[in-house]
Structure 1
Amino acid sequence: MFTTTNRNRKIRALVLATLMVTSLFAGTVALTGLAASQELPPLSEAPAGTIFSQVQRGGNADDTERIGLIKRGNSENFLYNPSTDRTTLNEGDVLVVRGGAQRFLVTADSARTYAGSAGFAGPGATVFQGEQDTSAVGFNTETLVGVENGGAEGETLDLNQAIPRNQDTGIYSDTGARDGNTLTIQEPRVSRFEVLNQNGERIDAGGSIEEDEFVIVRADTNFLAAERAEIKLVDPASGGAITDGLLSIDEAREQFGDRPVFDEIEDDAGNELSDRSLGKEGDPDGLDRSLFNPNIAPADTIVLVQDLGEVEKAGDYEYEVISEDDEPFGDLDVRETTELTIASSDDPVLSFAAENRSIVQGEFAEYEIDRSTAGDYHVVALSADDLRTRPSGDTDVGEVTDVFREFNDGGFLSGVLVNTGDGELVAVLEDGRVFSNGEDVTDEFPELANGTVPGGDIEDVFTLVEIDSDGLGINQIDTGRLDDSSIDLNLYDGFPNPAEAVADYETNDGDDDTDEVTFSVAEATEGLAITSPGAAYVAGDDIDVEGTADPALDAVSVYARDDGDWELIEELDRVSVDADGTWDETDVTLSQVSDVLRVPGTYRIGVIDFEDADVDGDGQADATLETSDFSTGTSVQRGLRVTDQALDGQMVTYNGQVAVEDATINVSGVAPGADEVVVIFVGDRGGIVVNTDSVDDEDVFDNEDTDLADANGTLEEGTTRGFIISPARDGVFGGENERSPDAFASYVRGLEARGLTQAQAVELIRQASVDDDGSDDLLVETEFEITDADTVIDNVYAEGADGNASGIQPIALGETMVIEGTTNLRPDDNTIVLEMIRGPSAESFDVGIAEDWGTDGTWSATVPVPSDAEAGTYALRADDGETITTVNVEIVEQREEETTDEPTEETEEPTTTATAEPTTEEPTPTPEPTPEPTTTDTESPGFGIAVALVALIAAALLAMRRR
């Protein structure tokens, strides 16, 4: 790219060269043509973004050529050519704006030749990463700067260089501000690239399309003002482009008929052949057609229409859209691809995994339609004689067509082919529409329009299957509704909408099928089974009683047996069998609905065909069956162990306490077979709080915030006794004096008003539950303290000082301080903040946080000691939001490591009796340094230490005296 300074010199050179060339041919220009052209505005007055699609040579309308040039920004007399061919403009030529509404004169200073994908861009233009042959005009500096909030703030753009492919996108200016001359950098891209079939359906990548169809390939690009974009079909095997069968929209209409998809494409990209690597109607090879198509802007949609019937062979191909110049994918390096398979145009086929094999009644058999067109609808039908139960009487179309399952996606619509009695067959859809002789005759058959038909007159049952964008149509058959015989499944031609497909099928009376498959359905042999409960059942538990059966059975009945006859289980007297061969009844408490299963023990449970359970023939399952009647019927039985309930629970405290400020406690546990448990707290002075917690389907109860307060306030401080009580198997509290859960909770709450002591209240609660005669209640007890919030600091030590990690220890500069303590607060709702509040450099210490601790209440945190802090005594505060505790911590320059002196014979004889000289007590300005290391003298190990200690004491006394 070139700066404005260079541009002025080049313009002068170009003008002189142009004048010299044009002077040689000036005599060939007709004076009348020049006069007419000179009345037009010059090219420099064309607005930014103007697209020129024609040039009239010498201003002569009879000598017109198609071109594709664009004015990018305020580029004065300079244009840009995004095509690959060169375009020359001569003085006196007239440029025609796309659409023909305006014309502009090529003057001497605007006459020049433009190479392909080259030209000029001025202020206000948008250019793209990777552009190489674009020159900048109209800017005041050679380097542009990204403007504030323009996407490239702080970045620079060198106008003397090609635009790098990694140049930051955004707005650049020659002043660095938006009020200067700006240039916008964008990434060249393809935002949408899709292949549509002749129905306008999108073909997924890797999908297939028939070879006798046409496709429309559509791409949204943003870079057409800078470089050609080309769509082409590529054979991956050879890498070559396939140009056979390219069509304009009009040509496609003429060949394939008018279709809605053509209107949609014309709205997007107009009626032009979009593969601009090909010339058409005398256009120069390589012309950028987007620039003379009124429907396309420099950033818009381009399309390609191709008749696949002209492609030499079926197989795997890919369509690609690329930017095109002298490199494989142009200067802009844009390429997007999508794969597809061009399939043989043979008739659609019905592939059925069950073809020529036997299926057990009750299976969902899946079939697939292949080699069809996405968006088409096919009728799939079978004979009504193949249904397990032949319809009779008034029959709902929706019910009889349930043999076809609503599967996969797309619209689901079914119907029947009905004989009206005079030999005429009509198709009746489940939505009430009626078709006869290819026409919608719903008004002529009001008796059928409500979706109810005479069952005996049904000939076929059919469904409509829509072909998906991958070229496949998938559906299922419920074989539980088919007879145990050989079944024919028929496929019919596809059409773009359901009405056409049904009309064609009905017109041919269901005889002209495209494909047919045959399979066999066998009677179910799996027999009966009880799958739930398993080998054991907890008395009182709500469970789903489930099993399997031959789909031929309408219903089953479930019985239980101890030593005598089989006894019917209430709620399980008639359980319907689904078409897939399963049966179930939800939320059954066996211990409540069966007298046999009421108490723990080992029993027999069995299931029998409902018809065999109705021995007396009254239409109801008999309440009792003799063992011989049960065994001779279609039945199965097995053992079942009924177990008693259990209870396990816990109350979570911290350091054995609950803080008054928290006033809640986590209560959780498991109670198999129970629906709910009662949670009771008895305070130190007899106060009582009662809660009820539900037990879920997994036998779990969990209340993280169980209140320790009621309308009378929080329980008093002191020792509190907590109880979790389950009513167990009988569902009531107590034995001889039983109470429902609600009545028991109310009774316990009433004890508080009697002014009982804690011991008295606890005794009465136990007497009303676990200690009552005949009670099966279950109880878990926990004791804890309710007290004020309490957080203390126990230990402060240097990290890594494992041998000296208890109590409050000195910490050296640069070390990490470990702080440990205990609390009775809950970690979920509280945080402990550790802070140095006083000391020589207290403000330089970070704040420590403890926010998680175990039930023992022990917490810990670390705070680094700044290496540049001042040694001294500091006050360390722990604040939990409720209480504050403070300890003093010594920060020293160097911490003495704990050592262990090994006694030797030499240490027993002091070789020197002199003490350290008290010279430090004398105020001398420059004390002599003490030689080092006196404490390591092997002749007198004890003496060196003593001298050092005395010297330290003396220094301290001197400092105090000076103060």
Structure 2
Amino acid sequence: MTRNKQIRAVLLAALMVFSVFAGSIAFTGSAAAAATSINTTTVSGSSATVNVTVDATAGDNNTTVWIDLDDDGTLDSGEPVATNDSYTPGTATDVLVSGLDVSDLTAGQYELAAAETAGAPVTGTTSEDLSVTATVTNNDDPELVSAVHYNDNFGNDVLELSFNEEVQNLGGNIQVYQDDVDVTSDVVASGPTQNNPGQVIINTTDLYTGDLVVNLEGVEDTEGNQLEQGLDDDYNSTITVATVTVTDDNSVSITDAYMGEVVAATNGNIGTAVEVESDETQDDVESFFRSGSTGATSAVYTFNTADRQEQRYNVTIGSTLDEKIRVRDLGLEVSIDDLNVTDEDEIEGTVSANSDRQDVEITLLDSDGDEVDDGSMTVNLNGQGEYDFEFNASELDLDTGDYTVEVTDTASGVTVESDTITVEDAGEGSADFAESVITEQRGDVVAIPVTVENTDTATVSIGSNDQGYVANVTVEDGNDDGEVILLWDSSKSTVSGTNNPSNVFDVDDSDDDILTGSDGVAEVGLATSNLVDAGDYDLEIRTGSTVSDSENVATLVLEEGGVSAVRTWTAPSGESLTDLEEVTDALENGNITEDSQIAFGDKVVVQIEASGLEGTVDAQDDETPDFFDTSNGYDDSYRLTINQTNPDPNRDPKIINVANASVVADSDNDTYFVVFESEQIQAYRDDDDDGVLDSGEITTSNEVDLDDDDSFNVEFKMIGEDDVSSSLALVDDNSSAEDSYEFLEAEHSFDADPVNVTNAAEQTVTGSSNVAPGTELTLRVESDGDTQPRFLKTATVYVQADGTFSGSFDFSEQSVGDTFTVTADGGVASDEEVDGNVVESVDTTTDEPTETTTDEPTETTTDEPTETTTSEPTETTTAEPTDETTTSSQTPGFGVIVALVALVAAALLAVRRDN
């Protein structure tokens, strides 16, 4: 008994003595009796029976028991109470009091009080003779309330089973299963022990994860009732696994938990209040609050983070803030490469997480969620938090149907499941060509589309003995999309046997493959002595990796290659044109324009349209560094020359060394772009006047600078077999195309000098430039003279396809009479500067079309202040309109895609890119 109860007992005894004394004055009768012990420790149901021992020698005839909800030692209103009035003093010491209704109470532990009374008990007056702590249940049947596996506050791995009342028959009747396997002997270290009535503790050998189940068949309560509540029909219950534990350790620290983990909160005592709420010191978090308790027969509270936010949570155990839980995202994911496979394929995928993890379990499940036999593996994720796995459908003897892959991080218990994988019957394999007739030019790389069904491999044959060329190659569909694009380099037709088959064959998709050795065949069985001839060649295909009778056939038509066109273009000096994407973007933005007059310092772009080059120049990638590699036939089977056409008197013409230029390939359209900076490319004198830059002419003493008035002829030539000496001829007869261009001194000019504006917004300053369209210019307007207040205005503009530029400025805060200077700066031209004035009005004749202004005599506007304004635009606009307008309206030969881009370039002139 506590000290308070002892004091209360003394006071009650004193009151009883006073009461007896007072009663003796008014009445005569027996001395009062008292309840001396309560023999019941569990009260259940709505008609509970309580054993009470009373004074047997004398006493009152009523025995009263009640649930002292507020633990004040007095019967209060609303507290469950029952009275037995059949007691006869002197005849019994053990009284059974029945009818105590506890059905409205929550199961738990309460104070059970008893007292002897002369009459009916009086609410607020009747005081206990004694009390005990008893477990109250409101169900006559025993029930499993919870099963939790966790690490307790002493660091022990335990399995706690919480029942609504005291139970028995525990020994031998508790079995533990992990993933449907009985692991009781491996998991259970000792126990079970019932530390408190209804709380059973089992010590385990480790903290286990996965699907844990406990079987409790045969467990009963103390009255022999079979445990069924809280169990399934087989007496099983799922165990909640808490992989993180926070305890009442008198210190507040941060514990990490991955989203999906269950956190255990405990101080080792049953019936402990627990609160979990968002840490309000964080910014921008979703508010969260939970208040509960471990339960009347449990010492652990579980907090599932699966649906919680990535934030910190405060955990209060009892009445003190004890821990902060930081929920983080493990990022555990599983992806499947192909969700539709056959029963002869591999099920392949990747597991990934935000950190490297050990012991990650990967399990193949059938449509019922059951593990496939031998369909599980435990792996470690690599340093990048990834692991590539595969299940062989044939080896696992999978039936057709739906499957999933489940991944469990064993340390945290976090689990994810893949999308549904459908396994179909492989059936009989077949292979075919996607096109019956394939046309390409000899010397190019031929794309041969192969289709496969119910198989991953097929063998293709090219040519025949009668046709003078035979090649065989096995391809594998590595991504199971049913297609492989086989690439055959026809320029390597002279390779014989199995020498360098990797140079002859390739696949378009890196997921696919060419099989060699024991897996397949890759060989040129009959090579040619020269480049394969133009003509029709047989194509045959069959499933598998051997050369056998064909299943399907097609025809390969090889045509004669040749040069279709050569054109010269220009681009701003700072424009990056290193790959086909950048070239295409520049065309869309109008930053590459066809031109025969190129500002010295801007980029020169030579566009070549020629078929039959792709294999020789290795044009499978955008950038083609092999284009001018002499080992691949440069200066022998094909040649690009850029020769000066206006040499100074008594001087040999200059030849540009194009070998130092970069080449961007659009091989699908037989198009190549040779790109170089006009001021940086090297040039040499043509000493022997043969129009070809020989190796002996490339010397320091023979090197010469290019000038801004040089003119050049551009020729690309594929050389016929009669003139090729050291390399294979790509064409039977010479094939060439030419173009020309000249360099101009780069210049900017303004349409008016001086520039006159009014003191208003949106005043336009216009001009022209011969630098490449798309060049970015900065227009700078700065006050000069005695103008006050001083001002500075800038605008970024772009040179348009017709060579013009225009910038708008706000002069609304300036005054009439203010003066300023306007500077155009940018591109490869020197800065240009003119004066400007703020005037009351500006003659708008400059807004008239150029043809109207040029038709009128210029003297009609000589008396106006804007005399120079009308003369300048006329000169600038008429200086180059014909060439530029004609150029922009031409249909460039950039191939199918690029030609379409060039056709709409004019519509994009006003929308210049600003990078």
Q: Same fold (TM over 0.5)?
A: no
The alignment's TM-score, normalised by the length of structure 1, stands at: 0.36
Q: 1 or 2, which has the higher helix percentage?
A: 1
The alignment's TM-score, normalised by the length of structure 2, stands at: 0.38
